[in-house]
Amino acid sequence: MTPHDPIPLAKPVIGAREHELVGEVLRSGQLSLGPMVERFEHGWCERIGCRNAVATSSGTAGLHLSLLALGIGPGDEVVTSSFSFVASANAILFTGATPVFADVDIDTFNMDPARVEEAITERTRALLIVDIFGYPAEVPALLDIARRHDLAVVEDACQSIDGAYDGTKLGTHGHPAVYGFYANKQLTTAEGGVILTDDDDLAELLRSTRNQGRTDDGGWLVHSRLGYNYRLSDVHCAIGVAQLERLDAMMEGRARVASWYQARVRGIEGVAPMFEGRQTRSWFVYAPRLAEGVDRDRVIERLGERGIAAKPYLPCIHLQPFYREDHGHRRGTFPNTEMISASTIALPFFPEMTEDQVDRVCRELSSALAAERVG
Ligand SMILES: Cc1ncc(COP(=O)(O)O)c(C=O)c1O
């Protein structure tokens, strides 16, 4: 790589082991519903210390199935965060329920428990907790609210793979937690997800609904309930098994790159480093905030001209065109969410990024911000 090569936003780590295991599946002839799926699921149970892992075709599918399995449906309201990827709220819409947003905390970017409490009505049936940018949400406070209002809980930990709150892994708090494995995630299966739960009955139901409503004791063409094809293939799981074997190293790589960024960003005028709090972040993106008044689009454009990918990440859900048009949302309703969403910028971030590349990104960011101040 030369000093002027483009630097992408994200880049998966794929090596010989992924090729070897995918080859093993292809040679076996069993491409779906085979032993590699079980091996992948078992790997997660071991890693997290949870009783069940149910692999799904995507994180979105995992969220949808979890909400359905907890009985969420038409007429229900589910409180969630608008500072998330659109799939969090879409999964609620898929069930026929209505997402109700609660504003986020200005530091953690996760749902503020006080705002969650205010959002609860007599129709609220569940909380969909999101651990955004890999930083764990206030799980104990949110579970306390859920207990007092008799609400089901699903955790969208798609960005917080392998995350924990006060050392307790997500997926072992008594409600299902979902990870996502799209190609930019801490661990990838190209596309995919997993639902983690200690509840054996729930896991059995999820295994049925991801597989067209089939049950273990029925035949292939016996469907006991309405189900979906949300299976994850053995080919995808082969990539996942290889990735699980190297997850520690990939996580360390991300944390190392993040620490380089944090140290440099502190010295750049007009940009605030990412929040470091009591909880350990599962590093997913490096997305610091730009100061108020900075033209973020121009900064992104300037970085792009110098070969550095950057994105205005993350747009809030309630201001997405169809949430405004079909669901009546408008600007001004969730001030913290809107302010954060207008100022965060995702910079190149992947485990194999070098210190020189981080230096180059920060240098270019600094000069783009300086040019903005002048121009
Ligand atoms: C917070 C969050 N929720 C849900 C999803 C959906 O995951 P998938 O793309 O695997 O369906 C993502 C993926 O980016 C995400 O970041």
Q: Could you tell me if 166 and 225 lie in one domain?
A: yes
Over residues 214-222, mean pLDDT: 84
Domain residues for the domain of 234 are: 16-245
Residue 11 annotated among the catalytic residues of the structure: no
Q: Could you tell me if 360 and 222 lie in one domain?
A: no
pLDDT at 3 over 70: no
User: Which residues are CB-neighbours of 350 under 8 A, at least 6 positions away?
Assistant: 8, 10, 11, 12, 13, 253, 254, 257
pLDDT at 150 over 80: yes
Which of the listed residues 56, 57, 60 should we mutate to test ligand 1's pocket, taking the one with most ligand atoms within 8 A of CB? 60
Helix axes 200-209, 59-69, angle to 10 degrees: 120
Distance CA 178, CA 206 (A): 12
Q: Could you tell me if 129 and 188 lie in one domain?
A: yes
148 Cα: distance to centroid of ligand 1 (angstroms) = 29
Q: Could you tell me if 236 and 225 lie in one domain?
A: yes
Please give the number of the atom of ligand 1 that sits closest to the Cα of 58: 10
183-212 pLDDT tens trace: 999 999 999 999 999 999 999 999 999 999
Q: What is the mean pLDDT of the chain?
A: 96
Ligand 1: which residue has its CA nearest to atom 8? Answer: 59
Q: Could you tell me if 238 and 183 lie in one domain?
A: yes
pLDDT at 101 over 80: yes
CATH number for the domain that contains residue 48: 3.40.640.10
Over residues 318-331, mean pLDDT: 96
pLDDT at 1 over 60: no
- Do 25 and 234 touch, CB atoms closer than 8 A? yes
pLDDT reported for residue 104 = 98
95 Cα: distance to centroid of ligand 1 (angstroms) = 17
Q: Could you tell me if 161 and 279 lie in one domain?
A: no
368 Cα: distance to centroid of ligand 1 (angstroms) = 30
Cα–chain center distance at 119? 23
366 Cα: distance to centroid of ligand 1 (angstroms) = 31
Over residues 151-156, mean pLDDT: 98
| Domain boundary residue, one of 245, 273, 288 | 245
pLDDT at 297 over 90: yes
356 Cα: distance to centroid of ligand 1 (angstroms) = 30
| Domain boundary residue, one of 245, 261, 281 | 245
236 located within any domain: yes
Q: Which of 312, 236, 252 is nearest to 55 (CA)?
A: 236
What are the pocket residues of ligand 1 if the criterion is a CB atom closer than 6 Å to any ligand atom? 58-60, 84-85, 87-88, 130, 156, 158-159, 180, 182, 193
Largest CA distance in the chain: 71
216 located within any domain: yes
CATH number for the domain that contains residue 277: 3.90.1150.10
325 located within any domain: no
253-264 pLDDT tens trace: 999 999 999 999
Over residues 291-304, mean pLDDT: 96
Q: Which of 86, 284, 103 is nearest to 179 (CA)?
A: 284
Please give the number of the atom of ligand 1 that sits closest to the Cα of 60: 11
331 located within any domain: no
Helix ranges restricted to H, 7-84: 16-28, 35-48, 59-69
Q: Could you tell me if 234 and 356 lie in one domain?
A: no
pLDDT band (50, 70, 90) for residue 2:
low
Q: Which of 117, 110, 162, 159 is nearest to 139 (CA)?
A: 110
Counted domains in the chain: 2
Which of the listed residues 9, 58, 84, 85 should we mutate to test ligand 1's pocket, taking the one with most ligand atoms within 8 A of CB? 85
Q: Could you tell me if 180 and 216 lie in one domain?
A: yes
What burial class does residue 307 get, using C-beta atoms within 10 Å of its C-beta: 0-12 exposed, 13-18 middle, 19+ buried?
middle
- Catalytic residue chosen out of the listed positions 11, 169, 185, 311: 185
pLDDT band (50, 70, 90) for residue 79:
very high
pLDDT reported for residue 83 = 98
pLDDT at 218 over 70: yes
Q: Could you tell me if 170 and 272 lie in one domain?
A: no
110-139 pLDDT tens trace: 999 999 999 999 999 999 999 999 999 999
Q: Could you tell me if 186 and 296 lie in one domain?
A: no
- Do 193 and 62 touch, CB atoms closer than 8 A? yes
